Structure 1
Amino acid sequence: MGTKNKGQPCISEFFKKKETNENGDQKRQKTFTQNTESINSSLKAFENGSSMQSVNKYRTTPLQGKHKINDDEEQRQGNPSKRPKQQNGNHVIGNSKSKPDTRKLTPLEKQFLELKANNRDKILAIQVGYKYKFFCEDAVIASKVLNIVLVPGENNSCDTSSDRFAYCSIPDNRLHIHLRRLLSQGLKVGVVKQMETASIKSVESDNKSGLFVREMTGVYTKATYLGDEDPPRNQNDISMNEDDEGVGDYIVCIDASDKKVGLVAVQPATGDIIYDTFDDDSARNELETRLIFLNPSEILIIGDEEIDIGLKKIVKIITKSGNVINKKRKSESDYRSSINTFFSKSEDIGQYYLLKFASNILSCISELLDYLQEFKLSTMFLIKDNISSFSNAKKYMHLPGSTLQALEVFQNSTDYSTKGTLFWLLDYTKTKMGKRLLKKWVAMPLVLRNLIQDRLDAIDDLSRGYNNFIDSLKNKIVKLGRAGLDLEKSLIKVHYSSSHNVSKIDKKEIYLLLLNLDEISSLFRSFSSQIALFKDSVNSRLLADILQDVLDLSESTVVEKLLKYITPSALDNNQFEQKVYFFNLQNYPDEGILTELEKIKDIEKKLDEELDIIRVQLNRPHLNYVTNLKDAYLIEVRNGKMINDIPSDWIKINGTKTVSRFRSPEVTKLYKELQYHNDALLRNCDIAYGRFLKEVDENYASLKTLSDVIAKFDCLFSLCDLSSSYGYSKPSLTDSFSSIMIEKGRHPIIEKLGSSTQGYIANDIRMSKDNNRVLIITGPNMGGKSSYVKQVALLILMAQIGCYVPCDKATIGIFDSIFVRMGAKDDILRNKSTFMTELQECSNIIRSMTSRSLVILDELGRGTGTNDGIAIAFSVLNYLIEDSAKPLTLFITHFPSLHVFEQNYIGIVSNYHMGYVENYKKGQEFPEVLFLYNLVKGVVSKSYGLNVANLAGIPNSIVRYAFQKAEDMRKEKEELNLLKIISKLKIVSQQSHDKSKAQLEEIFNSIQ
């Protein structure tokens, strides 16, 4: 489906960015750019169908033998004379200054150009013997990223005066380490492997002296690498923990036409597929909400590259990801045809997509199918159960991106880590799949009372007394977490391996997957009668449904059967023996493996017989074969007189100063046959392993259900752990429109970050539609205003996630959305000032709020002049009070004049402030302020900014001067007010007696 490389960035751009960041290295940047043009023109000529001769014209200077890059180079066993000498620094000399002359490309060079011509968007790691090599431009980039030696051609690239291709290399057993480092830099890497061994080639190939067949076996990016190239682990590797950077990242496809946006996100590591279609504004606030949660590392944008440049820019700003790929828009019929083609063997699934989803979702699915095929991951779309909707207004609360950031739900605003966030507070999960599920629960609080009540009741049920089954299950989940096992990830790797005929999961991982699934099933079976009784006693329908799944799964013995095929002891052995002895051939007889084992046994018998002949021939009855490095079946004799006894037709393999090692002609012949059948055995083992993975994958649905049950229990246990904390209470839910009544509520995150609960000041909150619907909160800077309103929002979120809350008592009506406008920040990349950002967020809230919303506005209007700020704050607050939606509103302000709303809307609006005490000390010009952090009725006009300045360490002279200026301004204002009063009194004295009473009353009001 589709064509290769479209929309992919040229990898030379990566190096250009790196080079230009180096101080004063513009000359090297210019040189590299010229070299990049050279290789690109060379490859383009090849790609456009030019003959190899047209490519050869870019090569001059005949290669010297020792510099030829071919398969023979790997056979050199460390001969220093055959290596270029190393200079100071990272580079090695190899530059010959002979005059340019036409040279013929080596077979390996031709093979590289053929591979590169079709894969210009990738760094190619090419297996050559026991190394992986990078050539030309790829080598320059790889050597920089990996900090390894570069053997250059002229000017470190593939240019017209080079006597060889630039290259660098890494050991084949370190590929996985270097691969992860390349991927972490946003590079796309193709791994090219030798598809035949020397022994198989010598027997089966028609061209025995020709070039090894090489194929690209894997293509990887940061989000699509699942540890495919990691070396096999043995059974002694207890933990499955690995460098998971990038593993679990989402890939997102966006189709945005006008205001309508379609989005599909896939998580290759789990097979998770999330879709959504929604209306959005020009600032893409709704898109921002989804991208903040998904945090993708790769993004596809469907549309015209020129028209969608603004969207591309916004997406890069939101995600901070440079890996944004443009996909040209096709017709709807093309997308539908593409989907039909992919699902040609699973038409029912294809029809499911075509009938269920809107056109802007189908376009995203089609592009992702095309994109993922190169990585052999597209078959995740065959699993319908992994597909879910991002937003469902009838089921989940709406939390815009600004709210997630302001409330620090997933990322704190200090160092952008998870510590100090709501997710951090709730996360007591032990397993990776549990952690992922909890993140979804936190991102999507529930809005249906029965579903929220089910989670709250599940906490009660799981915490009620001692339960042997629950205790055993907790221990098993802890054990899974400590071992680093990710059942969900391992299962999807089995699926990819089975459907694409590749091996993305090693033998230890598949064994541990099945072993732990079997242990869980056995646990369920052993407690089946207790589980049935427990199920009938629980109040939570959610927990009852999970327990029913447990009972259903306990009846299956499929995992037990699959485990009998495996020989666990084989996992203690080396890679060869792992492959050969992985299967218990009595339970899993494979004809191909058995046949080769029989042939190998026969050859080994002949080798033993030949050894008996050699013992007689050399008159050494105790002679045995020796193995040196990887060379086996060697006859070792001491140098000296014994060498004279060695027949002339024997072949010397290697030796030292004291011994020499030989093989007789017959041993040489048998050894070659043994090597061939060993390689054939490994090939047959791989084929058998592939069949075994298909059998496991046939049970994917039931095994995934088992994994999901563990994840759900992990999440519920996590909520139980937090809910059992000191001073946490089960919230009561009410059907009344948004209301919140909390006694002695505490900020959960500040409390956890502190050393104890004793130092935290608890506060009440009482808000409803008919009483205290709007709270205007004033008070000194740093008095706790923002922490208080965040506390209110966080307690609502916790309750609707289904968790207990830190308070003495809580009664909460169901909210369908929380909107927060907090903090002062500009957005330079989007050309928005602080005030513009503030008003746009406010505008979004006004357009989106409902009668079940909680609205929090913090210091609206502070981003402009005082008069304009007061006017805007006054007008917005008036709108929130008068609008038909009538949301519950917390309005923090430093404009005390807004207190008049309480008089005009009695019972609806209330003035509160954060308590404080002024502390005057002798000799001080202004008082110190002691914050009480309790909510007090009434309004205050002082913000005590100078106190904050003092706390911030502003020099005393500056603070004193500021205090004096503030006092002068206050006196000037008082004098001006007195002058106005005196002026009015003069007017009264000149008026008739009849009017004096009314005017005097006006004056008295002014004085008040």
Structure 2
Amino acid sequence: MWLVTECVQLFYIIVAVVEGRGLARGEVGMASIDLKNPEVILSQFADNTTYAKVITKLKILTPLEIIMSNTACDAGNTTKLFSLITEHFKNVTFTTVQRRYFNETKGLEYIEQLCASEFSTIFMEVQSKYYCLAAAAALLKYVEFIQNSVYAPKSLKVRFQGSEKTAMIDSSSAQNLELVINNRDSRNGHTLFGVLNYTKTPGGSRRLRSNILEPLVDAETINMRLDCVQELLQDEELFFSLQSVISKFLDTEQLLSVLVQIPKQDTVKTAESKITNLIYLKHTLELVEPLKAALSSCNTPLLKAYYNSLEDTRFGTILEKITTVINDDTRYTKGCLSMRTQKCYAVKPNINEFLDIARRTYTEIVDDIAGMITQLAEKYSLPMKTSFSSARGFFIQMNADCATLPNGQLPSEFTKITKMKNTYSFTSADLIKMNERCQESLREIYHMTYLVVCKLLNEIYEHIHCLYKLSDIVSMLDMLLSFAHACTLSDYVRPEFTDTLAIKQGWHPILEKIAVEKPVSNNTYLTEGNNFVIITGPNMSGKSTYLKQIALCQIMAQIGSYVPAEYCSFRIAEQIFTRIGMDDDIETNASTFMKEMKEITYIIQNANDKSLIIIDELGRGTSAEEGIGICYAACEYLLNLKAFTLFATHFLELCHIDALYPNVENHHFEVQHVRSSAGNKEKIAYTYTLSRGYTEEKNYGLKAAEVSSLPSSVILDAKEITNRITKQILQHRQKSTPEMMKQRAVYHLAMRLVQTARNSRLDPDSLRIYLKGLKKKYEASCPAPGQNDEQQ
């Protein structure tokens, strides 16, 4: 028996993975199922030698168990895929099964037999995808074995999920950005999931988590969600009425999972579970009408579609069949004794004569127990009362001080005495016997009720698939309500989707939650012709926070949430890569530098022109000369892509790459110099404000060192050496020629004109003024004749 009294994120996901052989190596099939959710997800895709897609997919699924073929795991002959998976998932159970169970023909048979008719279009998608079918065959056979039960025919939701419908965020980036787990404390809610999670159901919480890890890439679908969030924000009555109904739903997915399983053996436990779930099913179906009523006045297409889906007559058909057998006043309640009573009297009287007799017997025993405890209380003049727990059954509880008890102890006929402060819990030999009689009576009741419930379930199985639709509606509405709730707590705005990344006065959503004051907001602007931004500034000036903020805002926009900014426009990112952090990796015996190289290699191998790339420091784990060389070469490679790239660095030499590449822009975080009253020392005051150009701050590392407890002699030596090196660098630095400056000005003018042609909504007069302004900027940025001679 399972209880769903709170929205706890619990998964028991099993994944089967198989890879093609020979020429098909690199083609990977996957099948997964959560034992608490009757949905099989099939995937098949071509991956490269790093198996980035496989690892990312598995990180998102968070399996407790992975099944692979024994031929892939044989000692001395393990495949690269198996080695990589075991390296990344050290705490996951690995199970090997014989290769013959990965049978695509058997997998297709399983799907034809078990897939609910509403999802039968899956056949068209997967009939030629042999590897995911093979994985499905092994997975479903294994689940039958460990569960000791089979799924009812035509009862499962089967879905094919390729890797092209969602953005890819690798597991390292998800960790760096703290999307669902806080890096300092895994129990801490200071994550993007924690910021947006105001869901009321376990299904809504699961959907939010999966969406954050796999954002959408279809602008039309995202805008449909945003329309819903906008309506929920504008219509308070709709928001609160929907939230009220949604909060009453239990875990519909888990309910379905138990309902569609047919146990191979009938036990008291399985009987009780089926009865409980039928009560949960009745409770869920009774919420359909209130949910319809709440949606009746909605205007957006998606909410209207949900309302129309709830018009399905099968909801009423199932509920009608249930109410012919189950009492109208039987309902889900909290408290184990209340729920036990509901299960005992769930079936209407006169359906089974022997059941009615057993229930009368049970009632008499419960009354006898209450009477016996009352007599004991009178006998010993003690304030005893009847209590109940699922583990102990009925027992006696009493609030009393030791001083009020005879000789400071309870009478000798009481046993199993426990004390919590002034509360005693105990039982007696007679009460134990009566509990045994009570349990025996319950077993009879559950057995006879189970027979009635099984007959009822057989009648409603053919209609039950509408609950998949209901489950999907409830979890999606719950997530959209959560987005709207988050917006009401902060000044978020609706994002637009164009070919430009433009954020006006955006701020970090997680930092806002934990900071005493609202974080400093900053602007961001990247286009196809201005797609590479280098960010400089002193330590602690805000570079890392700013970079993470942009990635988090991009993810929020692509899942259909409003964004923390005054205005924002995004280009859909198909991949989001980050290289953040300076830690080494003890587990893989990788130094800081090697970890940096692995991460930048991964980005270079997988990035494309629709990627968003965030790099916070590179090459810091080796010498300055080599670090600058690696940074410069990596930047030149990434500059050949049309990916939007933000690169934070302390290597100021890198800033001069803009002389060669007009699509590079330099920005820096401003600081102010403040003289302290004590000792008249100059200190850096951080403004956390982003400005154009590269930082003019010199030797800010030395200033930070001065604040520390380093000896003054060491500081003086460091300053002298730094000055010598700086003079040498200045002698070799070249200034941009007028011809280069002119080319850069022409390039930027052309890019601005292209952006205007694509996205402008200005009227003719405003457009004319804007174009005149562009002309003036162009003329101002071109060097005047003879300027070079003057400079020389």
TM-score normalised by length of structure 1: 0.58
1:830-979, aligned counterparts within 5 Å?
A: 830-881=588-639, 883=640, 885-906=641-662, 908-921=663-676, 927-940=682-695, 942=698, 944-949=700-705, 954-957=708-711, 960-973=712-725
Cα distance, 1:715 vs structure 2: 1.0
Residue in structure 1 matched with residue 252 of structure 2 by the alignment: 487
Secondary structure of the residue aligned to 2:602 is helix
Residues 380/316 of structure 1: CA separation in 2 closer, same or farther (3 Å cut): farther
Secondary structure of the residue aligned to 2:311 is helix
Deviation per residue, 1:659-695 (Å, 9 max, x gap): xx9xxxxxxxxxxxx9999977764443333323434
Cα distance, 1:497 vs structure 2: 4.1
Contact 2:285 2:319 survives alignment (8 Å): yes
Q: Structure 2: how far apart are the matches of 1:892 and 1:926?
A: 29
Paired residues in the alignment total 654
Contact 1:262 1:278 survives alignment (8 Å): yes
Cα distance, 1:381 vs structure 2: 8.9
Residues 299/905 of structure 1: CA separation in 2 closer, same or farther (3 Å cut): same
Correspondence for 2:105 among 332, 336, 340 = 336
The amino acid that maps onto 1:931 is: Y
Correspondence for 2:528 among 769, 772, 775 = 769
Residues 581/742 of structure 1: CA separation in 2 closer, same or farther (3 Å cut): closer
The amino acid that maps onto 1:295 is: T
Residues 910/897 of structure 1: CA separation in 2 closer, same or farther (3 Å cut): same
Cα distance, 1:269 vs structure 2: 0.6
1:413-562, aligned counterparts within 5 Å?
A: 413-417=183-187, 419-467=189-237, 470-480=239-249, 485-497=250-262, 503=270, 506=273, 509-510=276-277, 512-524=279-291, 527=293, 531-532=295-296, 534-535=297-298, 538=299, 540-552=300-312, 556-562=316-322
Residues 458/443 of structure 1: CA separation in 2 closer, same or farther (3 Å cut): same
Contact 1:501 1:690 survives alignment (8 Å): no
The amino acid that maps onto 1:362 is: L
TM-score normalised by length of structure 2: 0.73
Correspondence for 1:583 among 343, 347, 356 = 347
1:702-721, aligned counterparts within 5 Å?
A: 702-721=466-485
Residue in structure 1 matched with residue 65 of structure 2 by the alignment: 298
Cα distance, 1:346 vs structure 2: 8.2
Q: Structure 1: how far apart are the matches of 2:110 and 2:522?
A: 62
Correspondence for 2:504 among 732, 743, 750 = 743
The amino acid that maps onto 1:865 is: S
Cα distance, 1:707 vs structure 2: 2.8
Q: Structure 2: how far apart are the matches of 1:894 and 1:833?
A: 20
Cα distance, 1:437 vs structure 2: 1.5
* 1:752 to 2:513 alignment: yes
Contact 2:295 2:303 survives alignment (8 Å): no
1:267-282, aligned counterparts within 5 Å?
A: 267-282=34-49
The amino acid that maps onto 2:85 is: V
Q: Structure 1: how far apart are the matches of 2:360 and 2:551?
A: 73
Q: Structure 2: how far apart are the matches of 1:347 and 1:555?
A: 16
Q: Structure 2: how far apart are the matches of 1:751 and 1:977?
A: 41
Deviation per residue, 1:193-232 (Å, 9 max, x gap): xxxxxxxxxxxxxxxxxxxxxxxxxxxxxxxxxxx4x6xx
Cα distance, 1:401 vs structure 2: 1.9
| More divergent stretch after superposition (862-871 vs 268-277) | 268-277
Structure 1 residues without counterparts, runs of 5 or longer: 1-227, 231-238, 605-629, 631-653, 655-660, 662-673, 982-1000
Secondary structure of the residue aligned to 1:374 is helix
Secondary structure of the residue aligned to 1:556 is helix
* 1:386 to 2:157 alignment: yes
Secondary structure of the residue aligned to 1:787 is helix
* 1:692 to 2:456 alignment: yes
Q: Structure 2: how far apart are the matches of 1:728 and 1:342?
A: 44
Residues 677/401 of structure 1: CA separation in 2 closer, same or farther (3 Å cut): closer
| Percent identity between the two aligned chains | 26
Q: Structure 2: how far apart are the matches of 1:382 and 1:909?
A: 60
Contact 1:493 1:504 survives alignment (8 Å): no
Residue in structure 2 matched with residue 286 of structure 1 by the alignment: 53
1:669-680, aligned counterparts within 5 Å?
A: none
Residues 755/362 of structure 1: CA separation in 2 closer, same or farther (3 Å cut): same
Residue in structure 2 matched with residue 794 of structure 1 by the alignment: 552
Contact 1:566 1:583 survives alignment (8 Å): yes
Contact 2:41 2:158 survives alignment (8 Å): yes
The amino acid that maps onto 1:408 is: E
Deviation per residue, 1:157-195 (Å, 9 max, x gap): xxxxxxxxxxxxxxxxxxxxxxxxxxxxxxxxxxxxxxx
Cα distance, 1:764 vs structure 2: 0.7
Cα distance, 1:880 vs structure 2: 1.7
Q: Structure 2: how far apart are the matches of 1:406 and 1:451?
A: 27
Deviation per residue, 1:214-263 (Å, 9 max, x gap): xxxxxxxxxxxxxx4x6xxxxxxxx8437968x42311222135433222
Q: Structure 2: how far apart are the matches of 1:479 and 1:380?
A: 28
Larger Rg: 1
Q: Structure 1: how far apart are the matches of 2:611 and 2:112?
A: 43
The amino acid that maps onto 1:328 is: Q
Q: Structure 1: how far apart are the matches of 2:649 and 2:191?
A: 25
Deviation per residue, 1:573-623 (Å, 9 max, x gap): 79997766431134xx247747x869999xx9xxxxxxxxxxxxxxxxxxx
Q: Structure 1: how far apart are the matches of 2:730 and 2:488?
A: 61
Q: Structure 2: how far apart are the matches of 1:345 and 1:838?
A: 47
CA RMSD of aligned residues (A): 4.1
Deviation per residue, 1:907-964 (Å, 9 max, x gap): x11111111123344786974211110101222364623455567xx5343xx34422
Residues 263/808 of structure 1: CA separation in 2 closer, same or farther (3 Å cut): same
Structure 2 residues without counterparts, runs of 5 or longer: 366-391, 393-412, 414-428, 430-437, 734-786
Contact 2:675 2:683 survives alignment (8 Å): yes
Residues 980/319 of structure 1: CA separation in 2 closer, same or farther (3 Å cut): closer
1:159-178, aligned counterparts within 5 Å?
A: none
Contact 1:259 1:279 survives alignment (8 Å): yes
Contact 2:15 2:65 survives alignment (8 Å): yes
Contact 2:618 2:649 survives alignment (8 Å): yes
Cα distance, 1:308 vs structure 2: 2.5
Contact 2:492 2:564 survives alignment (8 Å): yes
Residues 682/806 of structure 1: CA separation in 2 closer, same or farther (3 Å cut): closer
Secondary structure of the residue aligned to 1:830 is coil
Larger relative contact order (Cα-Cα within 8 Å, sequence gap ≥ 6): 2
Q: Structure 1: how far apart are the matches of 2:337 and 2:683?
A: 73
Q: Structure 1: how far apart are the matches of 2:146 and 2:647?
A: 51
